[in-house]
Amino acid sequence: MTKPKVLISDKMDPNAARIFTEMGCDVDVITGETPEQLIARIGEYDGLAIRSSTKVTKAILDAATNLKVIGRAGIGVDNVDIPYASSKGVVVMNTPFGNSITTAEHAIAMMFALARQIPEANAQTQAGLWPKNGFMGVEVTGKTLGLIGAGNIGSIVASRALGLKMKVVAFDPFLTPERAVEMGVEKADLDTLLARADFITLHTPLTDQTRNILSAENIAKTKKGVRIINCARGGLIDEAALKAALDSGQVAGAALDVFETEPAKESPLFGTPNFICTPHLGASTTEAQVNVALQVAEQMADFLVTGGVTNALNMPSLSAEEAPKLKPYMALAEKLGKLVGQLAHDNLTKIAIEVEGAAAQLNQKPITAAVLAGLMSQYSQSVNMVNAPFLAKERGLDVREVRHDREGEYRALVRVTVSTSQGERSVAGTLFGNGQPRLVEIFGIGIEADLDGDMLYIVNSDAPGFIGRIGTLLGQSNINIGTFHLGRREAGGEAVLLLSLDSPVPQDVLKQACDIQGVRTVKALNFV
């Protein structure tokens, strides 16, 4: 079996290459190339490991014909065109935890630097001024820290602040009351935080909702003399508004590690009294750089070798432990998606994926992605679990997941229901004892069948002689029947016939099948 091939295109700890090799990948370390050089090279690689220097553009992704995964050693993925990568079926991973402690510690360091005016005091002391009476700091003990964003890094900052005997008030729409209690912080709305905080620190991603979260309007709501720290993302603070607030005394001090435009060669804040800054150093420790390099190598190799998905930004996570358990269900889900896509693909508006029994105990997201991959394969030959949800969303398909704890007729069941202009259509399948996918219901009719290779789907009136007529037609056309599966609603009513065949059915034979007495629908299927 050919080993997956990985390119490391940015400088990172040499142990990353070692891990790729130990986990079964071939790896090349080629850094500092121009975009044109990378475009010429990238087509031969399955994985691309980067830091911040490599910009993964549409042009690079178009040239990356074998690429399956991009791994960013770090948190920020501004240098990767994630939507386009998703449309190409490329998984994008980052390492959100590798530099968490480092970034949190930098925020705490910036808070202390503000509280005691350390940078300016240092500069004047080294200039020989000895300004002992020129600086009056504030204690952090007993002060209130306003935490905007209580995720991984924010929670570490909170724990450090609590250790400093500070009070912590947190604003985060995703912070549950239970988690707030566990962290030892008070959950509050943004206005409450702004009114009460002595220090404000930001630890949230830059989104449409968080851009300029500290606007001129919100800065005006703060306690007079507040000190503000941002080690998260530039753009969270209106820098011009912050400058005005520093000048007016509304904000007593500000410390930024990030800017709206980077590298920050100029800023309205430069030279402002009580303003300190660093050049995006939040992740810049020896430990962090080693950690993110090792993590990205482990994650990418795990994905390429075993199928495990960790910290992916455009695909459901799937641990190495989960992958073996889920793979049979994902195979079933993809076949059900292909089936419904071939039989009921016109004017789809909604799709529901239901799981019950043993399937309900598993991570449903990969099952849903597999259904969509099977369904969307009718629209694109390059579809996979990564880009299928993207393509479904692009087409306005409403996707719903349903989990049933009940035990049904089967130990495990996956049901796919689509809404079409003709009404709802549903198919269901299970796993047999050997883990093989098996269809058990199609459009309300019970039928057991393997979904594999070339097949023929026929809806007919249940009447004597039909099976003989269709068998004769296929025999005369030199088409061999592998397996034969029948189901019906009731005696003499609507019946379904599923045949597995050793070869595809030509169009002229399909037309002849349609002309057989009692036939309502004929459809050639393929499950390659």
- Residues designated as active site: 233, 262, 280
- Please answer whether residues 368 and 353 qualify as being in contact, where contact means their C-beta atoms are separated by less than 8 angstroms: yes
C-alpha pair distances (Å), 361 with each of 328, 407, 461: 14, 12, 40
Region class of 514: left (phi > 0), else alpha (psi between -120 and 50), else beta: alpha
Distance CA 516, CA 528 (A): 28
In this structure, what DSSP letter does residue 332 have? H
- Please answer whether residues 91 and 309 qualify as being in contact, where contact means their C-beta atoms are separated by less than 8 angstroms: yes
C-alpha pair distances (Å), 249 with each of 4, 225, 245, 254, 275: 58, 7, 6, 11, 12
The strand order across the sheet containing 453-461 reads: 481-488, 494-501, 453-461, 519-527
- Residue of 223, 299, 296, 346 whose CA lies nearest to 50: 296
Distance CA 296, CA 74 (A): 8
Count CB-CB contacts under 10 A for residue 249: 10
Distance CA 177, CA 286 (A): 36
Distance CA 408, CA 393 (A): 31
Q: To which H or E segment does residue 6 belong? A: strand 5-8
Distance CA 249, CA 277 (A): 18
Distance CA 16, CA 9 (A): 12
Q: To which H or E segment does residue 510 belong? A: helix 507-514
- Please answer whether residues 453 and 501 qualify as being in contact, where contact means their C-beta atoms are separated by less than 8 angstroms: yes
Residue 492 identity: G
- Residue of 185, 282, 292 whose CA lies nearest to 232: 282
In this structure, what DSSP letter does residue 281 have? -
Residue 22 identity: E
